[in-house]
Amino acid sequence: METSTAQVIDRTTFQPSVVRDAWKQELAEAIRNPAELCALLKLDPSVALRTHSASQSFPLLVPRGFASRMKQGDPNDPLLLQVLPRPEELIDTPGFVSDPVGEQVARRGTGLIQKYHGRCLLLVTGGCAVHCRYCFRREFPYAESGASPASFASAVSEIRADQSITEVILSGGDPLLIDDQLLEKLIHDIASIPHVRRLRIHTRIPVVLPSRITKQLLHILHATRLTVCVVIHSNHAAELDCVVGESMQRMRQVVPLLLNQAVLLQGINDTAESLIQLSERLLDLGISPYYLHLLDPVRGASDFDVPEHVGVQLIEELRNRLPGYAVPRLARENPGTPSKTWLA
């Protein structure tokens, strides 16, 4: 295996010029320096030194509230491992590529991606509140794809012209990073299309930046005629503290369907016990376990990979210990196929 010579990734991050809301202030104060994060967690300085090269190509970004849930003194904390750059990311592993799920060929311009019948995905922004090291879009060309509010009108026009589309998925980056006014207008415009029935929002914000779940945001989600589904992304029960629980309780009052997608990650949640704890905690919060994804083979994330047969065994153990509704579907996304592949 050879060290990758890929250029520094130009990934847009949210940099508010005027801080008005608490969540924007919290995001502006997020940790961007690995040495600061390691010092905060009382880790040996050598841990921070190992992050330097990988953080140049994909910078660290983690809100302080999320970092506060990490165990001090533990370099193997499952939340820390999801965000801390590691030198292994620079190893060029065969089969791990920049576009692991085939989104480039599925682009329709103006920020739209359509891989499956009846639904399309709108990239609202390239910015995230946290940089997960296993992110399958860590090298996605957001600027080229039109993932910005400037493209919303064109995207809505394309959706309006295709009567086969009944569901629109807002994704990114994280779609909840845009301002309320922009989000409200976008949802209003989508709702004005008669053949669109559902709005799905894929977001990690409720987990890593729960202060974003404001009264105004909940009003926007409640006011639309569309059936709203929010799919959060949590991989470990330790992510879901009482602050997250309170924000999800507020969201439950206005959103009829709350789901969770997790990724099976080596060293983080690749045991039956950790997955059971995650499902139990999700159900406590009124969130249904939805998918447990095998890792999308994106370049730089091979050290997170868990073999398929291990995933199948884990799901079998979950079925033996949990009710059916608490067991997520093990799935893999294969480029060019008409749906996700269910493995267990």
pLDDT given at position 17: 41
Residue 150: which pLDDT band, with cuts at 50, 70 and 90?
confident
Rounded average pLDDT over 141-158: 87
Residues 125, 242, single domain; the answer is: yes
Query: So what's the pLDDT on residue 10?
Result: 39
Same domain? 335 vs 260: yes
The answer to whether residue 98 scores a pLDDT higher than 90 is yes
Of 263, 206, 200, give the one whose Cα is nearest residue 232.
206
Claim to verify: residue 30 and residue 173 sit in the same structural domain: no
CA atoms within 13 A on the CB side of 266: 11
Q: What's the number of domains the chain is made of? A: 2
pLDDT band for position 149 (cuts 50, 70, 90): confident
78 plus 142 within the same structural domain: no
32 and 81 together in one domain: yes
Whether 13 maps to a domain, the answer reads no
Among candidates 292, 338, 296, which has minimal Cα distance to 312?
Answer: 292
Task: Say if CB 202 and CB 171 are below 8 A apart.
Answer: yes
| Domain end marker among 34, 66, 92 | 92
Residue 298: domain span: 107-342
What local confidence, expressed as pLDDT, does residue 20 receive?
65
Evaluate whether residue 142 is within a structural domain: yes
Q: Specify if 150 maps to a domain.
A: yes
Note whether residue 43 is domain-resident.
Answer: yes
Q: Which ranges constitute the DSSP H helices of 203-300? A: 205-208, 215-223, 242-252, 272-284
Q: What is the mean pLDDT of the chain?
A: 93
Tell whether the model's pLDDT for residue 2 goes beyond 90.
no
CA 3 to chain centre: 27
